[in-house]
Structure 1
Amino acid sequence: MTPSLTLGLRKPPRGARLDPLVLGLLTLFAIPGASRAATPPPGSGELVLRGPDGTAPVDAPRLMTDVTVDVSGPTARAVVTQAFRNTTKEWVEGTYVYPLPEDAAVDSMKLVIGERIVVADIRERAQAKRDYEAAKSEGKTAALTEQERPNVFTNAVANIGPGETVLVRIEYQQTVRHTGDRYSLRVPLVVAPRYNPAPPVVNLVGEGTTTAAADPVPDGQRITPPVLVSAKHAPVNPVTVNVTLKAGFDIGALRSDTHKVKIEETGPQSRSISLADGPVPADSDFELVWKPTPSVTPAVGLFREHVGNEAYVLVAVTPPEGKVGPRSPRDVTFVIDNSGSMGGTSIRQAKAGLLAALDRLGPADRFNVIRFDHTMDSVFPASVPTDQAHLDRAKAYVAALEASGGTEMLAPLQAALKDASAEDTSTIRQVVFLTDGAIGNEDQIFSAIAAGRGRSRLFMVGIGSAPNGHLMQHAAELGRGSYTQISTIDQVAERTRELFSKLESPVVTDLTATFSEGGADVTPDLLPDLYRGEPLILSAKLPRAGGTLTLSGRIGDKPWTQTLDLSSAPEGAGISKAWARAKIGDAETARITGKMSPDAADAAILKLALGHKLMTRLTSLVAIDATPRRPAGARLTSAELPLNLPAGWDFEKVFGPAGERAGPIAPPKVQRRTELRRAAAPAVTLPQTATDFEIRLWLGLTLLGLGLLVARTRRFA
């Protein structure tokens, strides 16, 4: 056993072996011609790095990713293998920002260097960072995985040797999404550029001065990696995806609307799925959807897991719909994002979805439409009756929308949640929010929802190839609504029909969950109302297995009760980690909404993260090889690997012509478009949807170009 294997590896763990998929990554990087000159041909997708002053530029590290997912009933276990290839004669540190599902419980990381495998430890974030930096300076190969958001992570790999490939293998647990008879697995593959609002300017009363308030995105630099200029570079970061599906019931329909897939039937309840065209660019999230055969109607999913002396249960129950009574009148506010990141196919999907929603309004309903970029506007000053004249005006308004500008989401959200008739119990108030969620100030949005939701229900509709699932899912939970994802234009009709069918018919209200055994620690602690096809998902830690769970609520005006025998639940894997991840989310929500102090929330998160070995914003995974490898005096070149622009995005809509754009400004007051036209000066350059990283990108590209020119001059001198 090599020295590095003494860092906690007792036997070759599942997922740590060099399986054929990983060997394929190594083979791809080892083919002849893999190492090229530092001046790639135009459009090749290869980038160069600027070396220290006075030195020639070098190739950026290359990255290829393989994702394997094992789905077993309600849970999925994924292994993400990232292969960093150094094609130069320099020692390199590579940093890569990448996405994972927003509910991912990340619990394992391994560093593979040749035949050596180093198993990562979970440590408090600051300590992990210090240990990584120390190892880097000592010439040791090391890897550090950090959480920037629940769905955005950073991998840093130090001291990749000349011509060497280093593998980083990350494992996580997640739950399968379930809506109606549709089950789905989503694998995010690209982090979309985020818009980070500037701190608002505050007037100091009596002092005649102004100052900036707290930055709503203090870590903005960490979530804004460089993005390839799509007109000049081919996509980079190829990825492969393989899924082993064991549904737990006979599978009927199975498809992916986002990628072409090859499906192999391995049994009535199982399938093997892979990408039909081999590796694809990491520019669009992967989604797999399956349904049971028509004769199968699984209504209850109940699973348990024993860890030590404790038992964990996961429950997914779809209550009966009951008899649908008269539809209650609704007051619906539709909010549509027409900022720059919605350019291309996203704005077409959003407009098609909103137009379909307007067609489903009933004569007793009232409605309004708000649009926003870095400004906001509404079709009507307040909600109006659903008559043909109002509908025609709203449809014409929506059809004329174009995407441009920044994403100032806070003001339109607050305007939509403002309830002028809060005392009116005869209507149901709903907010439908269509956006890609490409922002960095998620906490600010969550706080606004918790403070202003009142009786409103918030329904988030994620648009495009790479939406911000963390924002969407959590905003819907706080708003006591649901989240619907529309990845392609082909999904608009089906998924908007499902969504608005839910909005029209709440099924179960006043839900409670009661365990016969005392001491149950349940999440979520406040159960939501259920809409048609929406299952109730809860997990709990119990002092011992056994007993019953009783679910109670109301279907219409009649009581509904169902009792489940926990001792009959089959064993499942990863239930404890799914529970711990959900409890960490509960603590984060309590911190954001002020129900827990920051110190108390952090203490709860740390206890859960260290106890279950999970990565959070307070904990990181770090793996350090024991032996220094970089020779003393050899320079180390650092590189932040670029990302692709998400598929369907328009580069100029996001970054402006030629990538030139002013930085984000403080959000304007809520004004009507005519007022904004009168107030706007023609010479003002308005911000687009993202931060100022495109300025740094173009500056970097300019410096790289100068470096290439110097290198070329020297070569021909």
Structure 2
Amino acid sequence: MYRILLTLLGVIAMTLSASAGFVSPSQMGTGALLLKTNEPGKYVEAPRVATDFDITITGPIARTRLTQHFRNPTNGWIEGTYVFPLPENAAVDTLKMVIGERIIMGDIKERREAKQIYEEAKAKGQKVALLDQERPNIFTNQVANIGPNETIVIQIEYQEAIRQSGGLFALRVPTVVAPRYVPDPRIVVSENAQFYTVKDSVLDRDRIMPPVLDPRKSAPVNPLTLTVHLNPGFALGDVQSSFHDVTAEALANGAKRIALSNPEFADRDFELTWKPLPGAEPQIGLFAESINGSDYALAYVTPQVQPATEKRQPRDVVFVIDNSGSMGGPSMSQAKASLIYALDRLDPMDRFNVVRFDDTMDILFPDTVEASRDNVQTAKSFVGRLEASGGTEMIPPLRAALRDARPDDRTTLRQVVFITDGAIANEQEMFDVLSMMRGRSRVFMVGIGSAPNSFLMTRAAELGRGAYAMIGEGGQVEDRMRELFAKLENPAVTNLKAEFDQAQAEVTPSPLPDVYQGEPVMVLMKMPDRKGMLKLRAEVAGRDWTLALPLDKAEKGEGIAKLWARRKIDDAEVAQTMGTITPEEADKRILALALEHHLVSRVSSLVAVDKTPARQPGEKLTRAEIPLNLPAGWDYDKVFGTEQSAPPVLERDAKLDVTLIAMTKNPVSAQKDAIKTVDLPPTATPSELLMLLGALFTLLALIFALFARRARLA
């Protein structure tokens, strides 16, 4: 009898373990990525993702198809959550879920409605994918009901405008979301101290902080392939990949096919730059398309801004350098080299100061000081001693840099040069401070490292009426800083206006921003009829500049309507930050644009549902966040702390859900305790376990009754 009971218990235990996809380290080969559960010695093998980028560049527009392969290596059912980056100006308009030979297209919905559709489909056992925007450059892809040992393919398509500056064209493809510093909520006390409120500047912290692997203890994940079909519309000169080895193949009409030489892992940005052959430089571009009875046009013009011939105006410059933990390794060296270069470019007539910050802050001088040899040398010594450590409290140094002791001084140009990787989660708080305090200052951002926060760089430069530069390795410091200082030291094209003599057009960006030496004026337009002239007017070094373009002469383009709508969404976000419209009005404008043009935004999502149920009722569904690589060159301990100094894991009871739910940010290898987990709190009754126990006791009762009956008959 006891043998029968032990056998039954063993069968039930094996059934539970198998349904959850449990394994033990001894069952797995080396390199397996295991997720720890609360069952002693039992783990769940992590879902895997592989990524492919296929990019077609035609003139000033890039169209990208991003393919993500989600593989469930377990013998249970999986829901995978993957946080990934896209370019900050990407117009994301397509979601496809590929299951075998079938393709399920995603629909654009208001975000809450899309989430409800996803949850209902997940509960019914249907395969379903949901694409959300968390930041303009951070997205979340959730895929539910991936079957045992099954692979689901998700395809996302987007387009973007190519960046141009100083005759150099560039495409930057982010591949990994860098860990973000999330400030703690703050307690705000009322003036009369009668009550207080808790202000949290990062309400979505759980959605943008996926688990990150320690590269010393875990093999890299997310293999990456990438191909670029480059047809810029002019004779190509030099083409370079900044951070990856590539192969280049010549195609017809002077185009090129560029691909990674070998599969890489997603741990750094991909950057491709190209130049036209001498004499083939495009100075003016005008493209148009017609969609749903409206004409859309894109114009770009590079004004010939002559360097200042007269003695330039003195500058009042505040340099801000980030020496937080995320800047450890090569990033700190690049940041220090950038600042040393900037200090060497100062003239004795300039004034300057230096602010450094992590989760503390130092201001070198009480106020800006003359750029004398002694003061510059003092600053260089100060910069040379900096080491990376601590958190990234960016708001206090920004306030310090924008605080202007001479706000009415018109004899100097006041500039702020902010050097950082931008690894923060409270970007909007920074934008709010910048819009309130910028005054006469112009803010120039220098993005550092292998995976800088490009959204922070571009939006801060826009709000600060400045420009930005990206530095991904030490060899780029001098060239990128020289280009940036050409903008700081020469007159900008200001007071830009777009006028139409016949057409009635909606123009974006609105208002048109200032542009600097080598930068194009880029204007996106929507109009009922494309007729008449577009006249661009501006001031350059106090002189009027005018250019007229015949709209009916535009070349045929594709995707311009999407770019126009995406930029109009940015306009609404900027207007809300500047306080010219309310948050409610911003949401209304963004949602209308997103639904009309089928775009993902912070208030709209794409959801794709397979109508055929796959997971049967009663089969367990495991939810797991897919871990990310640490960006190349980052120091894990400086970001997360050592194991001894790390905060204790928040213990939550997951015994009622035997599958892994989430992970902490201190992962280790499968051979050494696998990835540590954060378990969910008990929020429901243990219904499945109780049902299993009930069935067991019922079976035991029947066995005992059978034996009792036999005893009576005997």
Query: 1:417 offset after TM fit, Å?
Result: 1.0
CA distance in structure 2 between the partners assigned to 1:651 and 1:639 by the alignment: 22
Equivalent residue for 1:328? 313
In structure 2, relative to structure 1, the CA distance for the partners of 1:41 and 1:310 (3 Å cut) is same
Question: Residues 424 and 399 of structure 1: is their aligned pair in 2 closer, same or farther, counting only changes over 3 Å?
Answer: same
Partners of 1:308 and 1:584 lie apart in 2 by 19
Q: Residues of 2 paired with 1:314 and 1:198: CA distance?
A: 43
Counterpart CA distance in 2 for 1:377 and 1:514 is 47
- What are the equivalent positions in structure 2 for 1:351-366 lying under 5 Å apart? 351-366=336-351
2:502 matched to which residue of 1?
517
Partner letter of residue 65 of structure 2? V
Alignment map for 1:697-716 (pairs within 5 Å): none
Structure 1 residue 160 corresponds to structure 2 residue 136: no
Secondary structure of the 1:68 match is: strand
Work out whether residues 42 and 233 of structure 1, in 8 Å CA contact, stay in contact via their aligned partners in 2: no
Q: Does 1:67 align with 2:19?
A: no
Distance in 2, Cα, partners of 1:635 & 1:183: 50
Q: 1:632 to 1:174 in 2, by over 3 A?
A: same
1:622 paired with 2:607, answer: yes
CA distance 1:41–1:472, shift in 2 (3 Å): farther
**Cross-structure match for 1:48:** 34
- Residue 382 of structure 1: how far off its partner (Å): 0.7
Taking the aligned partners of 2:30 and 2:258, their CA distance within structure 1 comes to 30
Alpha-carbon distance, 1:515 to partner = 1.7
What is the alpha-carbon distance in structure 1 between the residues aligned to residue 454 and residue 519 of structure 2?
18
Match of residue 143, structure 1, among 129, 141, 145: 129
Tell me: CA distance 1:652–1:52, structure 2 relative to 1, closer, same or farther (3 Å): closer
Q: Tell me the CA shift for residue 257 of structure 1.
A: 1.2
Q: Is the 8 A contact 1:325 1:556 kept in 2?
A: no
Q: Secondary structure at the match of 1:473?
A: helix
After superposition, the Cα gap between the structure-2 partners of 1:522 and 1:65, relative to the gap in structure 1 and judged at 3 Å, is same
In the TM superposition, residue 598 of structure 1 has moved relative to its aligned partner by 1.4
Q: Equivalent of 1:118, from 104, 109, 119?
A: 104
Aligned mate of 1:373, from 341, 358, 363: 358
- Letter of the structure 1 residue corresponding to residue 293 of structure 2: N
Alpha-carbon contact 1:304-1:570 (below 8 Å) kept: yes
2:667–2:676 CA contact under 8 A, matched in 1:
no
Letter in 2 for 1:83: H
Among 298, 305, 308, the alignment partner of 1:314 is 298
The CA RMSD over aligned residues, in Å, is 2.3
Cross-structure match for 1:632 = 617
1:446 alignment partner in structure 2: 431
Distance 2:38 2:296 in 1: 54
Deviations 1:240-275 (A, max 9, x none): 010000011001000011111111111463110000
* Among candidates 264, 276, 286, match of residue 292 of structure 1: 276
2:33–2:674 Cα contact (<8 Å) kept: no
Cα distance in structure 2, aligned partners of 1:43 and 1:450: 54
Listed as ranges, the matches of 1:15-414 within 5 Å are 39=25, 45-50=31-36, 56-207=42-193, 211-267=196-252, 269-277=254-262, 279-322=263-306, 324-326=308-310, 327-414=312-399
Counterpart Cα distance in 1 of 2:214 and 2:372: 46
Identity percentage of aligned residues: 51
Distance 1:37 1:469, change over 3 A: same
CA gap 1:396/1:582 in 2 versus in 1, 3 angstroms: same
What letter matches 1:395 in structure 2? K
Name the TM-score, length of structure 2 as normaliser: 0.87
Contact 1:521 1:542 (8 Å CA) reproduced: yes
Distance 2:617 2:447 in 1: 50
Q: Report if aligned partners of 1:263, 1:272 keep a CA contact under 8 Å in 2.
A: yes
Determine the C-alpha separation between the residues in 1 that align with 2:286 and 2:157: 24
Shift of the 490–323 alpha-carbon distance from structure 1 to 2, 3 Å rule, reads closer
**Structure 1 contact 316–537 (Cα < 8 Å) conserved:** yes
Change (3 A) 1:454 1:658: same
What is the aligned counterpart of 2:403 among 414, 418, 436? 418
Aligned 8 A contact 1:652 1:659 in 2? no
Q: Label 1:228 to 1:44 Cα distance change in 2 as closer, same or farther (>3 A).
A: farther
Question: 1-side partners of 2:520 and 2:96: how far apart?
Answer: 36
**In structure 2, C-alpha distance between the alignment counterparts of 1:704 and 1:502, rounded to whole Å:** 47
Deviations 1:387-444 (A, max 9, x none): 1000100011111110000000011111111111111111111111010100011111
Offset at residue 115 of structure 1 (A): 1.3
Cα deviation, residue 528, structure 1: 2.4
Equivalent-residue separation in structure 2 for 1:528 and 1:624 (angstroms): 41
Which structure 2 segments of 5+ residues have no match? 1-20, 649-661, 679-714
Which whole-Å deviations, capped at 9, do the CAs of 1:488-528 have from their partners, x for residues lacking one? 11111110011111110024222211122343111112222
CA contact (8 A) 2:218 2:668 kept: no
Q: Distance in 1 between matches of 2:511 and 2:628?
A: 39
Structure-2 separation of matches of 1:155 and 1:315:
34
Which one-letter code corresponds to 1:299 in the other structure?
Answer: Q
**Alpha-carbon distance in structure 2 between the residues aligned to 1:693 and 1:659:** 18
The alignment covers a number of residue pairs equal to: 643
Q: Distance in 1 between matches of 2:117 and 2:38?
A: 25
Residue by residue, what CA displacement relative to the aligned partner does 1:683-705 show, whole Å, maximum 9, x if unpaired? xxxxxxxxx98567579985867
Q: Secondary structure at the match of 2:422?
A: coil
Give the aligned residue type for 1:319: P
TM-score by length of 1: 0.86
Shift of 1:637: 1.0
Alpha carbons of structure 1 residues 625 and 460: separation in structure 2 relative to 1, 3 Å: same
Corresponding letter in the other structure for 1:91: W
Matched, 1:488 2:467: no
Aligned to 1:671: none
- In 2, distance between residues paired with 1:42 and 1:358? 55
Determine which of 555, 558, 565 is the counterpart of 2:543: 558
**Alignment partners' CA distance in 2, 1:286 and 1:399:** 30
**What is the match of residue 3 of structure 1?**
none
Shift of residue 529 of structure 1? 2.4
SS in 1 for 2:200: coil
Check 1:308–1:653 CA distance in 2 against 1; reply closer, same or farther (3 A cut).
same
Q: Is the 8 A contact 1:103 1:581 kept in 2?
A: yes
Q: Greater Rg, structure 1 or structure 2?
A: 2
Residue of structure 1 equivalent to 2:412: 427
